[in-house]
Amino acid sequence: MKKLGAILFSTRTTGTMLLLYALSMAMGTFVENDYGTPVAKALIYDCWWFELIMVILVLNFIGNINRYRLYQRKKLPLLVFHLAFVLIFIGGAVTRYISFEGSMSIREGESSNEIITDKTFFKVHIGNENNSLAYKDLPVTLLSDRVPFYLKPF
């Protein structure tokens, strides 16, 4: 367990994860520019490995706070720096898993209770009159056939 902690909380791991995170976001930016936001979300930003990089970074920052005793008064600026990254990642996770993305058109002096989302949903009803099974609002990501070759393995 100590060996895992030494690897997880090392500065080499921090540098590697930050580099992978930056390269992933750069690739996501280029894919989004060329193929649109849904493709970039499906192929990069919503992938398990992208989330894993963020989780490792958060654990790494928290571990380094304890490892280097950044809670001491003389190291307060470093503590604030590390906690800022932790809070940014936690805020991103809250936004990702709890929020709802959409747009609402409201004219001046009016109110609205309708939101238009950019996600595609299928409503599925299976069965006959006696026995039926219904799934409502199954989110689906529709991708273009023009996926770049360097993203094919994903």
- Interval 1-13: pLDDT, tens: 789 988 999 999 9
- Interval 17-27: pLDDT, tens: 999 999 999 99
**Where do the domains of the chain lie?**
2-98
> How far is Cα 13 from Cα 19, in angstroms, rounded to an integer?
10
Mean pLDDT, 10 residues at a time, over the chain (154 residues)?
88 96 95 87 89 96 94 95 96 89 90 83 72 69 64 56
Specify burial of residue 89 (Cβ count, 10 A radius: 0-12, 13-18, 19+). Answer: middle
Backbone angles phi, psi at 46, to 5 degrees: -100, 10
| pTM attached to this predicted model | 0.76
> How far is Cα 136 from Cα 92, in angstroms, rounded to an integer?
27
CA distances from 109 to 93, 102, 105, 143 (A): 35, 21, 12, 39
**Is the Cα torsion angle 28, 29, 32, 35 positive or negative in sign?**
negative
Looking at every residue in the chain, the average pLDDT score rounds to 86
pLDDT at 151: 66
